[in-house]
Structure 1
Amino acid sequence: MSTSLSLPIEAIKTQFCQALSKHHTVILSAPPGAGKSTCLPLWLLRHEAFAGQKIYLLQPRRLAVKNIASYLAFQLNEQVGETVGYRIRNDTKISKSTRLEVITEGILTQIIQQDAELSDCALVVFDEFHERSLQGDLAFALSRDIQQGLRDDLHILLMSATLAIDNIAKAIPDAELLVSEGRSYPVDIVYDAPQNNHRRDHALNVIKKHAKAHEGSILVFLPGVADIRFIANALAEVFKHFPVDDLLLCPLFGDLTLKQQQQAIEPCQPGFRKLVLATNIAETSLTIEGVNLVIDCGLEKVAIYDGASLMNKLVQKNIAKASAIQRAGRAGRLMAGVCIRLYAQDDFERRPEHSVNDIMQADLLPTIIEAARWGVNQLAELPLLELPTPIKEQQAWQELKRLSIVNKQNQLTAHGEQVAQFPCHPRFAHMILSSNKLSSTRKQQEHLSFLACVLAALLEERDVFSGEQSRFDCNIAHRVSKLISAFNQPYGTLVNIVKQVNSLAKRVGLQNSNLLATQHLPLDCIGLLLAYAYPERIAKARGATGDFICANGKGVTLNEQDALAGEQFLVIADLMQTQQVPRVRLAASIELSQLEHWFKPQIVEQEMAVFDERSGKIIARNQTKFDALVLQESVSRNMLSAETIITMWCELITRKGLTLLNWQAKDLALKARWNWLTRYFPEYELPQIDDETLLVNLESRFSPFVGEIKSMDKLTKLDISTMLLSQLDYQQQQILKQAAPEDLYRANRATLSHHLFN
């Protein structure tokens, strides 16, 4: 195989090489199939500006890293690891002679943190930059920061597979923009929307029809692994009875091993064709030989981080137009093709041009700790192309403070410096480092540290044992036991998990993981270890069996048949989002004594006012609390202070709503008149009085009136109108009285009534 002179990228070779000589930042737009990943890197190796220096070529996916490195090395008649090498997590093939390293974006960030000037590097190339992953954005920002502040001779090349790069070009005004038209084999677009809501069945019927009749390989885009398995199983049953001898059925998604993914994209043997069932992993980077038919469901599953539950929610969404165009283009990479969209044309027209970028919806903790490690205390100090919302960023900084990773000034603590060295999520690194203090004996420390490494590696993968466990078995200890039993002879995806365990163990100073895996490990400490990673998800039983409340105040459920459902305290390792309360997928038990001993600094004792629903009165209680969890409680003999009573009423009203108060007709009329003025006559500058504003400012409005009220009976006698009017000064009260008099309300009750609870 050799580089073809007919590759479209060849048309701009001279222009491109001149641009790199004259400009330190270049943006190249080239459609899939142009040769930007497979031909252009060889030009860079021969470019005189980079002679004898290193080039980093970034790819967003591990499979693309290995494929591209192999392809480039083959064209040089070399083995991978000579002139061209690669680095991904726990897998490296480079040597002293390696000049071009194909790497993932996260690897570049770690290289930069170790060498702040990229001293031996002349050029950083970001391939498939249109995908705009959070790791890619961070790696670019750090590279750009080096270029602007430390090394003005560092070259940066951004390569995008789409022409829609206006926003990137505007954000980097000094960049030179080049466009390669690419190879344009025609792709016919066919719309075939389901007639009902049975999306999967419709997709299956379309696939079955074309699997038998179509000449050539077929690429099917499905939203997630569950859909792929459903379709694959259904097709396997069909092919049992009606064999299609020349068709190979190949799933392709991120959780497969690299070897399994490779099987899905490598060329078929003569006389065979492929049916590839893929997630959006196949949109770019990967060329699947022989594909001239794409069937696109038009959906994808996106991981959106929920700060309340500390979990990524997989949300199924319509893909944007840019993704739909990318998918269709896969049918025309090597020949003319067809794309069947399993949705209507007007649906396509209504879709947004581009997807929401990762930085707006991903877990920010790994990015924030790298920013702190780089020496900045807010993301705005980095030349990021886009920033998260201030609230989202602030929440991430607060989480790192809670884990003692950064201090009040958002600087890494000594503990944080250690955490940042680990190749895993900051929460898991914190857990691994904290495990050392749980025992005074060296042997026990080793066992606990190794167990923490196993937990970290296991949880960073999806639940690889889910298919082997009972649906009522959420105990993560059983998964840990399975992994340890296969540790010295791992299979499938366990190979990568074991590699990660070994990498983490080496970082913490453990030399013989294989031996530790054969020894008796303290599995009863799993809950305690998890509590260091997720202190917010320590949970206490409440109400019915399987109903728990977490330390962050959020409720979760566990099937009542699960063995863990009867525990008093759990630590939640993983949750499944449902339409109601999140359901526990993985957890471990923890003893109250463990919690009280090891988390003593976070446990507080306080006197609380508690509303007793049965008597309708406030009673005083002494509570020992860990955040929202009441660990112990007893009746207090002390008199309640006014502040405590006010806080209790405010919390109760916030939870149950303003309707808890006894609104009289005059109170509702006052609120309606006031609301009418604030909405239609803002020039009067009266404060807002909608329900949301009332609840936000409840304590300031409530304080003078309820400090002595200790029963619901007395609360119902509260003069709400007097309370509301107390927020206005004399002049404002006169404006309300004159501009919206009571007789106006009585005369126009019907018109104004819809303002009552706005």
Structure 2
Amino acid sequence: MEELQLPIDAKLPELLDSLSRHHNAVLVASPGAGKTTRVPLALLNSPWLGGQRILMLEPRRLAARAAARYMADSLGERVGGTVGYRVRMDTRVGPDTRIEVVTEGVLTRMLQSDPALEGVGIVIFDEFHERHLHSDLGLALCLQAQSVLREDLRLLVMSATLEAEPVSELLGDAPIIACEGKAYPVETIYAAKRAAGRLEERAVQTVIEAIGRNEGDILVFLPGAGEIRRLQGLLGNAAALKGGGIRVVPLYGGLTAEAQDMAVAAGAPGERKVVLATSIAESSVTVRGVRIVVDCGLSRVPRFSPRTGMARLETVAVSIASADQRRGRAGREAPGVCYRLWTEDEHRQLQPASDPELLGADLAPLALELAIWGIVDPAELAWLIAPPAGAYAQARELLRALGALEAEGKPTPHGTAMAALGMHPRLAHMVLAADGLGFGAAACELAALLSDRDPLRSSRSVDMRLRLNALHGRAPGAELDEAAGRRIAAEAREWMRAAGIRPDGGAKRDAGCCGILLALAYPDRIAQRRGDGRFLLRSGRGAIVPELQPLSGEPYVVAADLEDTGADSRIVLAAPITLAELEQYCSDQLQWESDVRWERTAQSVRARRRLRLGSLIVKEGHMTEADPDSIREALMEGIAEQGLDILPWSRQSRQLQERIGLMHAHHPGDWPDLSEDTLLATMPDWLAPFIGGMRSRNDLGRLNMIDIVTSRLTWQQRQQLDEEVPTHWTVPSGSRIPLDYSDPEAPVLAVRLQELFGLQQTPRIAGGRLPLTIHLLSPAHRPVQVTKDLANFWQQTYFEVKKDLKGRYPKHYWPDNPLEAAPTNRAKPRV
């Protein structure tokens, strides 16, 4: 293969010198500089390498295969000779392989199985600016391995668009080598006005315009596979492109390796190619023949919410760095043009660089890897940006629920086995647990379906059983794409092999086990129907099936995919599960509880027994026998809720409470406080001993409140109370009048005026210290005067009152000298 001069060639001596004198280095090389394919080959004969292997980390399988193939071709060899690659489900290495291009998950597995990376001289992190979670994790683990186990191990971080200084500092002030790329001029054309209408329709118009005005193939950047499929359909129907030798091909991660390789290869002579790609084509690979880039300016990224424990794919605007990367694709081989479907003003408002995946991803895989590595606190490792504490805590909580971690954070044997499978911990737990139940093969197929893009995205059904049946051709009207079916089946077989599961010939791959399997993977997403397609998740959050369908009426479902959208999450994929299956397969998560509470409508304590699964009540019934203490507490809660008036207070018992209240007001340290607030707060002290065996308001009616209140006093206090604060006062007429103690500062004697004739001074209680407030009443018991000074009333006020009363009650006795008159409780005194 003829070697072309690339910009990186001039920088290779400086890079080789830096790595000979330092263990780490940072290489910042613009797109097109040739760093990915030139640097590993240049390092092969370095003395410090000593014949050891070179590992180069690529963020995507397509880039890993393409880089390995290009380097092998340049050596005149086949892949698997000096240069090989390891990606998920595809390995091409041999005994003579010196350069291994691996994807991020593969590097993590290699580190876990051999933390010292014996036989590896250098690890190269390519396209590090993309800041994938596994690249951050891989660098952190390599740095610790270098520090503790392998001082001779070298690390090289390479990137096209990266702020190099923080990385250099993280690598121990590693030298920075900068290299300009080989790029042809690219004209940038912005949209004239802000976007209006559907994305695909705007993209079609731009592609047609670009084909008519420019030469070469077109690379169109779109956020996801759905937009790619829709645009592919629109372009296929576009009259302007028919018969023009235009071939439209997709390029995204879910395609087979053959389809991806075909998309990046040069087109046939006389043919123009339109490649519809996600951000997979943004860096690392060169799509041959491209002179035109049409960029929609959007990408789809995962966002994890620690609040809900759910992740969602979010479509966001690209960063300036990503937009520049995409633009550069048009100038890799010749001058080109880039059409941006946003305005120049909107471009100035984009953020400079994309956020690291670490800040918005589900951290359960990372937390498990760290636990296997022996790390409890991420702060023990060196990071460019540490994992967010909230998301990390949520991840560890999930891993404990799945049985992967012990309470103190160490991995269990089950957790170690989960990590070895190389899939998301939820799915790994499902596969391992299902194998013991006889559902291992079905679990691997379900895991492959859930790890891939939904093969039936056009279907309105959210039923996961439909997907599993379609994989086996048992779903009429729901045909899987042939390529997708082959890919998912191959991945399922690979996981069966990794988990040691033997194919069962379909005997236990019936889709009826879907709910059981999903409950193993997503125990927190078991949901109970509330009606009209609405469900209550075990966590307490709401979820909804977007359109009424058979699954909407199931009593219980397990959601495998949820979109966190407002108050109720949208169920994207789910399967039904029966109560009997929950009791059989989730028995360790079900808990019986007693619910003893006051029911206001029944005015009684009701005791119920409930079987709970988190926030879900799956069974409920009355309890014939309940704990007496629980009943007593619930009864007191009902009294506190409704107030002390629910108790059978009589006038005498209320008066007793008030009399004690007066003594407390004047002797707070010696007498109990029987105010309403204090009584409510201290019911266990004074009321609980009297309500044993009671449940209802009717039962409370049997209480003797005088006995209960009196129990708060000592024998001496009872005697003193009767002496100093009597219940009645005998007036001159001989009547025993009850006293009103509702105001402890002014106890009241309400008596008809005629009954006090001859009484010169105001009566006093509390050993003569407290005068009574006298409410003087008419013969009709209506108040005519209030006084605390009876002597003054006789002298100053009586004669005015007498005139009024004599006019209204002429038959009654109204003497001129009340102090010498005989008191009477009749109209006139007896003769």
TM over 0.5: yes
Which residue in 2 is equivalent to 1:530? 518
Which residue in 2 is equivalent to 1:680? none
Which residue in 1 is equivalent to 2:236? 236
SS at match of 2:236: helix
Query: Residues of 2 paired with 1:452 and 1:331: CA distance?
Result: 44
Query: Residues of 2 paired with 1:368 and 1:270: CA distance?
Result: 51
Superposition map of 1:268-417 within 5 A: 268-417=267-416
**What is the CA-CA distance between 1:583 and the residue it aligns to?**
2.5
One-letter amino acid of the counterpart of residue 27, structure 2? L
**What is the CA-CA distance between 1:86 and the residue it aligns to?**
0.7
**What is the CA-CA distance between 1:273 and the residue it aligns to?**
2.3
Cα gap change, 1:196 to 1:503, in 2 (>3 Å): closer
Do the aligned partners of 1:423 and 1:504 also contact (CA within 8 Å) in 2? Answer: no
**What is the CA-CA distance between 1:475 and the residue it aligns to?**
2.3
TM-score under structure 2 normalisation?
A: 0.72
Which residue in 2 is equivalent to 1:117? 116
Which residue in 2 is equivalent to 1:499? 490
One-letter amino acid of the counterpart of residue 207, structure 1? V
One-letter amino acid of the counterpart of residue 429, structure 2? H
Query: Residues of 2 paired with 1:643 and 1:70: CA distance?
Result: 75
**What is the CA-CA distance between 1:600 and the residue it aligns to?**
2.2
Which residue in 1 is equivalent to 2:69? 70
Which residue in 2 is equivalent to 1:590? 577
**Deviation string, structure 1 residues 105-147 (Cα, Å, up to 9, x no partner):** 1101111111111111001111101101001111111111111
Query: Residues of 1 paired with 2:203 and 2:30: CA distance?
Result: 28
One-letter amino acid of the counterpart of residue 633, structure 1? E
Query: Residues of 2 paired with 1:490 and 1:2: CA distance?
Result: 40
**What is the CA-CA distance between 1:233 and the residue it aligns to?**
1.3
One-letter amino acid of the counterpart of residue 234, structure 1? L
SS at match of 2:35: coil
Which residue in 2 is equivalent to 1:476? 464
Do the aligned partners of 2:236 and 2:242 also contact (CA within 8 Å) in 1? Answer: no
Cα gap change, 1:485 to 1:423, in 2 (>3 Å): farther
Superposition map of 1:64-463 within 5 A: 64-195=63-194, 197-200=196-199, 201-239=201-239, 242-438=241-437, 445=438, 448-463=439-454
Which residue in 1 is equivalent to 2:559? 572
Cα gap change, 1:643 to 1:162, in 2 (>3 Å): farther
Query: Residues of 2 paired with 1:379 and 1:613: CA distance?
Result: 51
Which residue in 2 is equivalent to 1:730? none
Query: Residues of 1 paired with 2:585 and 2:178: CA distance?
Result: 59
Larger relative contact order (C-alpha < 8 A, sep ≥ 6)? 1
Which residue in 2 is equivalent to 1:630? 617
Query: Residues of 1 paired with 2:259 and 2:393: CA distance?
Result: 40
Query: Residues of 1 paired with 2:344 and 2:561: CA distance?
Result: 39
**What is the CA-CA distance between 1:243 and the residue it aligns to?**
2.1
Which residue in 2 is equivalent to 1:751? none
Do the aligned partners of 2:248 and 2:274 also contact (CA within 8 Å) in 1? Answer: yes
Query: Residues of 1 paired with 2:263 and 2:600: CA distance?
Result: 62
**Deviation string, structure 1 residues 697-717 (Cα, Å, up to 9, x no partner):** xxxxxx969999x99xxxxxx
**Deviation string, structure 1 residues 123-179 (Cα, Å, up to 9, x no partner):** 111110110100111111111111111111001111001153233223333311110
Cα gap change, 1:395 to 1:195, in 2 (>3 Å): closer
**Deviation string, structure 1 residues 449-484 (Cα, Å, up to 9, x no partner):** 1111111121111211334x4x2x322222112223
Query: Residues of 2 paired with 1:454 and 1:208: CA distance?
Result: 41
One-letter amino acid of the counterpart of residue 148, structure 1? S
**What is the CA-CA distance between 1:572 and the residue it aligns to?**
1.3
Gaps spanning 5+ residues in structure 1: where? 439-444, 651-702, 712-758
**Deviation string, structure 1 residues 247-295 (Cα, Å, up to 9, x no partner):** 2212222222222122211011222222222111111011112222222
One-letter amino acid of the counterpart of residue 475, structure 1? D
Cα gap change, 1:249 to 1:618, in 2 (>3 Å): farther
Cα gap change, 1:627 to 1:645, in 2 (>3 Å): farther
Task: Considering fraction of residues, name the structure with more helix.
Answer: 1
Query: Residues of 2 paired with 1:627 and 1:32: CA distance?
Result: 52
SS at match of 2:57: strand
Do the aligned partners of 2:55 and 2:102 also contact (CA within 8 Å) in 1? Answer: yes
One-letter amino acid of the counterpart of residue 491, structure 2? Q
SS at match of 1:124: strand
Work out whether 1:607 is the aligned partner of 2:598.
no
**Deviation string, structure 1 residues 350-391 (Cα, Å, up to 9, x no partner):** 221111111111111111111011111121112222112212
Query: Residues of 2 paired with 1:115 and 1:645: CA distance?
Result: 64
SS at match of 2:294: strand
Superposition map of 1:633-644 within 5 A: 633-635=620-622
SS at match of 2:528: strand
Which residue in 1 is equivalent to 2:534? 547
Cα gap change, 1:559 to 1:223, in 2 (>3 Å): closer
One-letter amino acid of the counterpart of residue 527, structure 1? G
Same amino acid, percent of matched pairs = 36
Do the aligned partners of 1:609 and 1:644 also contact (CA within 8 Å) in 2? Answer: no
One-letter amino acid of the counterpart of residue 625, structure 1? R
Do the aligned partners of 1:405 and 1:413 also contact (CA within 8 Å) in 2? Answer: yes
**Deviation string, structure 1 residues 478-513 (Cα, Å, up to 9, x no partner):** 2112223499x99412333222222222233334x3
Which residue in 2 is equivalent to 1:42? 41
One-letter amino acid of the counterpart of residue 587, structure 1? A
**Deviation string, structure 1 residues 732-753 (Cα, Å, up to 9, x no partner):** xxxxxxxxxxxxxxxxxxxxxx
Do the aligned partners of 1:211 and 1:275 also contact (CA within 8 Å) in 2? Answer: no
Cα gap change, 1:614 to 1:385, in 2 (>3 Å): farther
SS at match of 2:574: strand
Do the aligned partners of 1:3 and 1:39 also contact (CA within 8 Å) in 2? Answer: no
Query: Residues of 1 paired with 2:30 and 2:384: CA distance?
Result: 22
One-letter amino acid of the counterpart of residue 170, structure 2? A
Which residue in 1 is equivalent to 2:60? 61
One-letter amino acid of the counterpart of residue 126, structure 1? F
SS at match of 2:44: helix
Do the aligned partners of 2:208 and 2:241 also contact (CA within 8 Å) in 1? Answer: no
One-letter amino acid of the counterpart of residue 290, structure 1? G
Cα gap change, 1:150 to 1:593, in 2 (>3 Å): same
Cα gap change, 1:611 to 1:111, in 2 (>3 Å): farther
**Deviation string, structure 1 residues 582-605 (Cα, Å, up to 9, x no partner):** 222222221212212332222222
Query: Residues of 2 paired with 1:579 and 1:463: CA distance?
Result: 23
Task: Count residues with an aligned counterpart.
Answer: 639
Cα gap change, 1:338 to 1:23, in 2 (>3 Å): same
